[in-house]
Chains A and B, each alone.
Chain A
């Protein structure tokens, strides 16, 4: 039984599906639910993410069902809404997504979709009520709908495309740096001679999605990309490559090597590319060394975020920058069967460091864990800012939700992302006053006192 949650950051399945659809050019969501569902998504997701507004946001097409549709059924309202959306809103594909109310009423969405198809509308559907699960489920449901239903629209490409690689598991907006992360992974794959199929973001439309079955490899960045990759393996026999997390810094080099091995690429080309990227990163590290020592970058940190982010970022901070991962909190509820592997990876980042790993999406629980952790740096979402302030330590917003950052093309993936991460977390330490960690003990003391009176 699902438990209640304080300060929920994982929204609902409908919102996850909207995040998928809004991140693909030319694809138009049609919500069949009560009027507020789209605005909830806009306020609670888009606005906490530096904004994203194509045909998403509050102008999203929504059947806005009323009492009579709850009592007598809302199918006819959906029929009318779909027909008029196609007439009014530019789009190559329309996707019906449902909310709790219409699913409880039992409106027949597949039948309505079929009716639309009979009128030559390019339309598919996904049942996405919030009572079925969170934003990650919504991502999976929408992606599944696209993979399964697009071919029946008959626009798939016939010939295989050599070196095409699909990337799965980066949930648009739930990873605030999704666009930048995808672009960097794409740049790296291009660097070793492949054709990345990013699927989301600028320039990514139905052409990209129709190519999905033709990929030689499906790269899975987080556990949420497993389902689509497995579906494609089953249907089209495409290879699957699972990453432990977002490849940040040298992990990106190892990622490229594995891809090269799998696809039998030119070894020299791959190695040369990795070498040049490593060299640039090393130069950045050398330039920051003075500040690193002076401001005491080598700190014990708490990191709160989604599993792929926590793995990737802490791996870089611990594996290259020498920081100590003290407390890692994973907020995206990964399935039980992957938790063991995550624990092994994360607790083994730095030998004898006593790294503790937690799984929670409850703000009260997360706050308690961070408060008692005695760390010198907190990296997390806007929700963790109060406890970081209470502890008196530097803080950087890097997971959803964000409230004080505008993110358009920045990312933390790859080599460029590693440099950006270094800039951002270094700036957080400097702006806090870099000797603040020295008086850490007294601050922890004050913090626990003030916690008694905290909000």
Chain B
């Protein structure tokens, strides 16, 4: 089509601005967070056993791999939309071509979340820019809905054209006396969708939390809940408030004031050390809110450990925490009865932190994890990998976000008895004929999570007819693919 002469120059300017502003000053001075690959050496394409993974991260920066065949996957824009869907009294203006808000429609009609406006950039806008359109959209939605905050979400078109969002933000902030938060996602600058959470959380703190030093400390504890299931959030809330804590939950279901409150809280604890990492460390480094990082509270033991980390950090009465844990464990044990996973070989295809935590739950229930696919692997997982490698050095780890062709190949070789996943491609995994349990919409956290999960596991193993029926529909891949090694299309990047 058309090649724009100006954009290449603009693009490089844009990149220079980003790299300059990410120097070691206030984290929030930067326009955006750094990508996960730059900040944590995150990998999205890798396969091998656990001890090889440990070596990979011990010998300095791991070598980045790319795929020579890939399937569509989540990107930073999608994760930004997912996170924004849960912010109260807000309107999101997606500065993009009309299709970039399709996922917003999903959040809106299935969960009643979010109000989505797309600027509907057309052919002309891709050449001339569309600042005026953005201004007009913001003013109109402001006057109609009077939200507490308006988000502007950028997109591939805007990132390539380098449309000036920042001046729109500044001008309309003054004119409307309204917080307007720009979220600079691109769809291509990072290979990791989770970068979209970081970008969004960066913007939320930068624009809504206030400047450091201007807050009066409050007594609440930040519970960092990033795109968690509502039941999971409630379970964590139940556990912590029963121990007498006053909680400030964010970003899920947060409103405008929650972020300011968070900057003055006495502590932050997270439900997921992966997704909550950027929020936790930024609150710590920028506002001095101490941050306790613990594995996800999935399974009885892990919930107990999570609670004890939180309890120690917050100075809770140790005996009270212990008693609570014992009472709850007993309740769960009673509910589980004699249910166990003895002799059941399980495959996990989950977001990284969830995967590692569900692994201990499966162990707790007597099952054996025979392989895992995690969405990414980085410095945050180093410790967990080392611990795993001491026990299961040959456990296979596959790093992929939404690459079912590789997963299907691996699973065919391993033929597990049960698959647990949270991706959008479970329909394909099911065609392999194995029982599948989706964790996408199933609460998993805390004591109640164990009970909910065990019920799903039990049903999946008790009656496998649907898997058998699905297996009559072949997978869309050629037979020859299954004779190749699953990592055939993962190559070291040639720079």
Contacts and interface: CB of A to CB of B under 8 A. Distances in A.
Interface of A: 1-15, 28, 31, 33-45, 47-48, 51, 53-55, 57-67, 69-71, 80-81, 84-85, 87-91, 99-101, 103-106, 127, 129-134, 364, 381-383, 385-386, 401, 403, 455
Interface in B191-234: 191, 193
15 contacts: A4-B120, A4-B133, A5-B120, A7-B108, A12-B100, A31-B72, A36-B187, A43-B106, A48-B106, A57-B425, A59-B476, A89-B477, A100-B156, A104-B1, A105-B160
B157 A60 contact: no
Nearest to B125: A131
Contacts of B387: none
A42 B428 CA distance: 14
Given A36-B72, A67-B188, A11 B99 contact: yes
A8 B105 contact: yes
B187 A101 contact: yes
B466 interface: no
Interface in B8-27: 8, 11
B160 A70 contact: yes
A60 B72 contact: yes
Contacts of B187: 34-36, 101
Contacts of B116: 6-8
B73 interface: yes
B105 A66 contact: no
Interface size class of B (residues with CB under 8 A): 35 or more
Nearest to A135: B99
A5 B105 CA distance: 12
B8 A39 contact: no
B424 A58 contact: yes
B136 interface: yes
Given A4-B118, A66-B191, A12 B73 contact: no
Contact of A131 (B123, B427, B480): B123
Nearest to B93: A4
Given A41-B102, A61-B69, A130-B100, A54 B476 contact: yes
B405 interface: yes
Nearest to A61: B71
Nearest to B407: A59
B133 A12 contact: no
Interface string B126-160: 10000001001100110010000000000111001
A35 B75 contact: yes
Contact of B123 (A4, A70, A132): A132
A28 B78 CA distance: 24
B109 A130 contact: no
Contacts of B141: 6
B101 interface: yes
B1 A103 contact: yes
A37 B188 CA distance: 11
Given A57-B425, A127-B1, A43 B102 contact: yes
B119 interface: yes
Given A2-B121, A59-B428, A88-B478, A403 B109 contact: yes
Given A39-B75, A39-B402, A89-B476, A62 B70 contact: yes
Instruction: Name the residue in B72, B137, B191 with the highest tally of chain A Cβ atoms < 10 Å from its Cβ.
Output: B72
Contacts of B478: 87-90
A44 B114 CA distance: 14
